[in-house]
Each structure stands twice: as C-alpha cells, then as structure tokens.
Amino acid sequence: MLTTPSIAAHSATTPLAPLAIARRAVGPQDVQIDIDYCGICHTDLHVAKNDWGRSVYPIVPGHEIVGRVRAVGAQVTRFAPGQAVAVGCFVGSCGTCSSCADHMEQYCLNGYTLTYGSPSADPGGYTQGGYSKCIVVGQDFVLSLPDGLDAASAAPLLCAGITSYSPLRHWGIGPGMTVGVIGLGGLGHMGIKLAHAMGAKTVMITTSPGKAADALRLGANEVLISTDEQAMLAMANQFDFLLNTIPVSHDFNAYMSLLKVDGTMCIVGAIGPNAPLNTRPMILGRRNIAGSLVGGIQETQEMLEFCAAHGIVSDIELIKATDINLAYERMQKNDVKYRFVIDMASLV
C-alpha cells in the first residue's frame, strides 16, 4: 500500500481537515498518478455535507484530477512515467454491459465506480478522490492530457467540461443551429465556450442582467434575460437546443416556448423532483426534455482534444489546500468565477 496526504470530510458538520490515507499498491493494469491540481465541484460539497444521505466518512472528495504518471503496472501500455494525465468522475465499470460496450461507461447497467465514495477493494473499502497527493487508477480510466492545455485550468474539464460537451455532441450541435445555455455558473460558462466553438449561435439565458458582459466575454452571441417577458416572447420558437445548467429545482415550463419544433432542452443541473411539467408545449411542438450525465472515457478524451484544438479551458480561481473550507463557503454563495481548483503542491 501507499500512504498519501489528503483533505477529507470527517463528518457532515465539521470542516474538511487533513488525513493520511492509504492507496492500493500498483497492480499490473494500474497507473499511479502524482496529482498536481484538483477542481472543486458542487458535487463535492453535497457529498461532504451528506446532502444525498449516502456519504461514508471519512471521505476525500475530488473528481477533476490532473497530474503526472509516477509509476505504471507491468501490463500498462498507454501511459509512461512523466506523462501528463487526467482522471474524471469515475474509475471503474463492469466492462461487459451494453452501455460499456458502446463506450458509455457513465451509464453502466451494473453500476460504475465513482472516483470517490464508491465501495471498492481499495484500502478502507471505498474509493477516495483527488484532494490528495496521489491516486492509483486502472489504465482504462486514465485520460491523456493534450499538450497546450494549462493543467490547472484544464482540471474542471473533467466534470464541468464533459458534462456540457456530452449533450452538445450527442445532439449534433454545429453551424446553423441556435443554442441557449440556461444559467451561468461552472457548467454554464463551459456550455457557452463549447457551443460557440462548435459553430452554433450561442445565447446565454439568465435571470441576472449583471451577467451579460461576462457571458459575451465567454463567447455568447447574445444574452436573453428570462425575466423579461417581451424578450422571451420575441425569442419563441428560435432555439434548436437548450442546455439547462440550473443546479436547483425550478420550473422547466418557462423555457419550453423557446424551442423550435423538434427542439430539445437537456437537463444537466437539477437532479430530482422539479415543478410539475406542462406537456402541452411538448405535444403541440414535438419538443423534447432530456437529461445527460458526464461522458464515457472515449468521449471525455475526445472532449479534451477538442478543447486543446480550440484553446478552451475553464475560468478558475487557484487556491491553496488550506483555503478549502473558505472555498466551500464561497461556493455555497455562488461566489466564484467559475471554478475553484486546488494547487496540490500546497498540501503537505
């Protein structure tokens, strides 16, 4: 076994604090990674606070991991020591179901293994995440970090980036299409950058006029204030696709009239019950509401290559490990543009 420093949640009510954790020894198919940077996702906060009732403590969050290979197992063929690599939201799947066969491990029918918080054969019986100095991951779930991407700013691509990229790719977003990105946060700011790079007319949809300038800076062609009834009426039936990144329960019905016939609104933010859905706009316009998770390993690698080709990274605030609890407090207040990333060199 390997021992590494980490930052862990020890309970739902106490601040995150240092913890030495054990990693499994490097097996034949394993890659040992020295972690340079780890992004902070809102999921980390939910898990640390046990908002979903499934946390087993102590737990080390973090699934936006960038680093370099320290060592590889005897059967590893795709990675070598010193190589820049990344790890995302999951580190295992069954490998045999129809989803896995189609390179959609994120929809594994037998259950994927999350990067942290999943039962596993790792020391302690659960996976532990990237708020640590090193991690050991099977080579099939390690990604190559392309040249040209700033490592720290690339870390959030492993969650926020792929969560936005996967539905845009699946629904074939490209030139001649109009895409609305609803909500300007960690996911939304990536949605704007990616949709714009794919060649679509990209419209930021927000309740906050004060976010307009930033949306345009990020690549939006226009900004639509959703509380402006006249503006919303003027944009009715104009959108091929809406990427809804709002992370809390809200009324989907407010946006349905924006879609063209056969248009789709994809939910990537709000998980769980929301306001009652009025099916009338769906039936009368053959409109669709869908959901999407992150992407599979193959698609995530594709996303990283796309971002490298188009010079896309996340807007980040780099913090020291000692500032983790302050970052959590600020994240709860939406006081970050647009993703915190931990410099793991600061963890001792």
304 in any annotated domain: no
What is the pLDDT, as a whole number, of residue 248? Answer: 86
- Are residues 190 and 331 located together in one domain of the fold? no
DSSP 135-181: EEEEGGG-EEPPTTS-HHHHGGGGTHHHHHHHHHHHTT--TT-EEEE
- pLDDT value of position 322: 97
Please state, in angstroms and as integers, the Cα–Cα distance from residue 252 to each residue in 18, 93, 265, following that order.
41, 32, 9
Within a domain: 298:
no
Q: What confidence score (pLDDT) does residue 271 get?
A: 81
Q: Is residue 296 part of a domain?
A: no
The residues pairing with 9 across neighbouring beta strands, listed in sequence order, are 59
Query: So what's the pLDDT on residue 202?
Result: 98
142 and 177 in one domain?
no
Within a domain: 142: yes
Q: Are residues 23 and 148 in the same domain?
A: yes
Tell me if 96 is assigned to some domain. Answer: yes
Query: Does residue 265 share a domain with residue 152?
Result: no
Place of tokens 């009510």: 13
Same domain, 137 and 183: no
Residues 106 and 210 in one domain: no
Using an 8 Å Cβ cutoff, are 35 and 65 in contact? yes
| Residues 141 and 61 grouped into a single domain | yes
Residue 141 shares a structural domain with residue 174 = no
Looking at the fold, whether 177 and 96 belong to one and the same domain comes out as no
pLDDT above 90 as % of the chain: 94
CATH number assigned to the domain comprising residue 129: 3.90.180.10
| The total number of structural domains that make up the chain | 2
Question: What is the pLDDT tens value at each position of the chain, 348 positions in all?
Answer: 899 999 999 999 999 999 999 999 999 999 999 999 999 999 999 999 999 999 999 999 999 999 999 999 999 999 999 999 999 999 999 999 999 999 999 999 999 999 999 999 999 999 999 999 999 999 999 999 999 999 999 999 999 999 999 999 999 999 999 999 999 999 999 999 999 999 999 999 999 999 999 999 999 999 999 999 999 999 999 999 999 999 888 889 999 999 999 999 999 998 888 888 899 999 999 999 999 999 999 999 999 999 999 999 999 999 999 999 999 999 999 899 999 999 999 998
Q: Name the residue range of residue 168's domain.
A: 161-291
Domain shared by 264 and 222, yes or no: yes
Nearest alpha carbon to residue 184 among 238, 240, 158, 223: 223
User: What local confidence, expressed as pLDDT, does residue 109 receive?
Assistant: 97
pLDDT value, residue 220: 98
| pTM of the full structure | 0.95
Looking at residue 204, which CATH number applies to its domain?
3.40.50.720
In a domain, 215, yes or no: yes
Pairing assessment for the beta strands 222-225 and 201-206 based on DSSP bridges: parallel
